[in-house]
Amino acid sequence: MAAASPAQPLRIDILDPRRDLLGECPLWDVRSQSLYWIDGRAQLVRRHTPATGASAQWQAPQHIGSIALCESGRLLLALEHDFWLLDPHSGSLMPMGAGVTHVAERMRLNDGRTDRAGRFVVGSMTLGRAEPQGALYQLASDGTVATLERGIAVANATSFSPDGRWLYFADSHTHQIHRYPYDPATGAAGPSEVLVDTRALGSVPDGAAVDAQGHLWVALVQAGQLARFTPEGRLERTIQLPVTYVTCPCFGGPELDVIYLTSISNSGNLLRSDHPDAGAVFAIHGAGVRGLEESRFADASHPI
């Protein structure tokens, strides 16, 4: 796919008048031409269709860490310790019958992304403390859960290279984004190496997305910036946002050339802002790049 023209000036709009407490995990659904995202703290899954202005939302029974599009048209929800399926057409919400057992109290699932073969990779985090008691998990279509990594405090930046052969992942507490060699056929992950350290940028890394050229876009949640890194880990550019606490990007729009970016107004922990646009979903136009269609969780074995 050809790159978008870089001649278009950069423009940052607000997608939707609603504001999130803890906006996270935006996903563009090419089938419906809609953006899904979550307000994790408010336990809401949200949807907005830019072409019509139509919006919808669904309530979950627990804090939501992340979501994924499914092959069936449903959404996979990573709640505090287990996985649920949401049918946006009927509004029905049902447990999938799969989950994880945290090793300590006050932990939950957090950031996740689907690999190119339809598995969901999601990490956990500790609450109110920076202790490496979390893990990185892989959910298969049959509901089995494998553990890819342990010793994590705050899981973020989960994403995959265009060919699916690299898994990117950050433990935000360390400021480091790692990459793992990844086998799309088997789901096996090799030993990690540090790709980026964000200390010099004044922020820990939060959510991330990969563009069609294989560059990694990372939300710098303490700096109000979105950073683009080359596949080798070199900082290529940053985009300054009007609010500080930006959390996670994705690519969307009919040409997959719009960057959608969620943000925080009140995380319930350390991050809180009275800025009138805090908690908004931003739409960045004119970045001159395109994204990839979002991979879907292979949920065919679970009845609708």
Per residue in 179-203, pLDDT tens? Answer: 999 999 999 999 999 999 999 999 9
Q: What is the pLDDT of residue 2?
A: 40
pLDDT of residue 270: 83
> CA angle 224-172-46, nearest 5°?
60
> Which spans in 80-135 are helix H?
none
Asked if 221 and 263 count as a contact pair (C-beta separation under 8 A), the reply is: no
How far is 296 from 245, CA to CA, in rounded Å? 28
Place of tokens 């009927």: 90
- Which domain range does residue 183 map to? 11-285
- Asked if the structure places residue 239 within a domain, the reply is yes
Cβ-contact 112, 158 below 8 angstroms: yes
Judge if pTM exceeds 0.85. Answer: yes
Determine phi and psi for 96, rounding to 5 degrees.
-80, -20
Q: Give the HSE-up count for residue 182: Cα atoms under 13 Å, Cβ half-sphere.
A: 26
What pLDDT shows up at residue 269?
81
Query: What is the rounded CA–CA span in Å between residue 103 and residue 300?
Result: 31
Q: Are 279 and 265 in contact (CB under 8 A)?
A: yes
- What are phi and psi for residue 130, nearest 5 degrees? -100, 65
Instruction: Determine the Cα–Cα distance for residues 271 and 205; give it in Å rounded to an integer.
Output: 14
DSSP state letters, 283-297: EEE--S--B-PPP-B
Whether 304 maps to a domain, the answer reads no
**Is residue 295 situated within a structural domain?**
no
Could you give the residue numbers annotated as active site? 206
298 inside domain: no
In this prediction, residue 303 carries a pLDDT of 62
Number of domains in the chain: 1
Bridge partners, residue 282, by sequence = 14, 261
Report yes or no on 33 lying in a domain: yes
pLDDT for res 302? 65
Tens-binned pLDDT, residue by residue, of the chain (304 aa)? 344 444 579 999 999 999 999 999 999 999 999 999 999 999 999 999 999 999 999 999 999 999 999 999 999 999 999 999 999 999 999 999 999 999 999 999 999 999 999 999 999 999 999 999 999 999 999 999 999 999 999 999 999 999 999 999 999 999 999 999 999 999 999 999 999 999 999 999 999 999 999 999 999 999 999 999 999 999 999 999 999 999 999 999 999 999 999 999 999 888 999 999 999 999 999 999 999 999 999 997 666 5
Give the span between the Cα atoms of 105 and 279, in whole angstroms: 28
Q: pLDDT value at position 3?
A: 43
For residue 4, what pLDDT is reported? 43
* CATH number of the domain where residue 138 is located: 2.120.10.30
Tell me the per-residue pLDDT of 23-67, one tens digit each, with 9 for 90 and over: 999 999 999 999 999 999 999 999 999 999 999 999 999 999 999
Residue listed under structure tokens 């202790």: 131
* DSSP 8-state class, residue 281: P
Would residue 131 count as lying in a domain? yes
Over the Cα atoms of the chain, what is R_g? 17
Q: Which residues are paired to 263 by β-bridges?
A: 246
pLDDT at 8: 74
In-domain check, residue 5? no
Neighbour-count burial for 164-186, b at 16+ CB within 10 Å, e otherwise: eebbbbbbbbbbbbbbbebebee
What are the tokens at 221? 């949640």
Residue 6 within any structural domain of the chain: no
Determine the Cα–Cα distance for residues 210 and 215; give it in Å rounded to an integer. Answer: 6
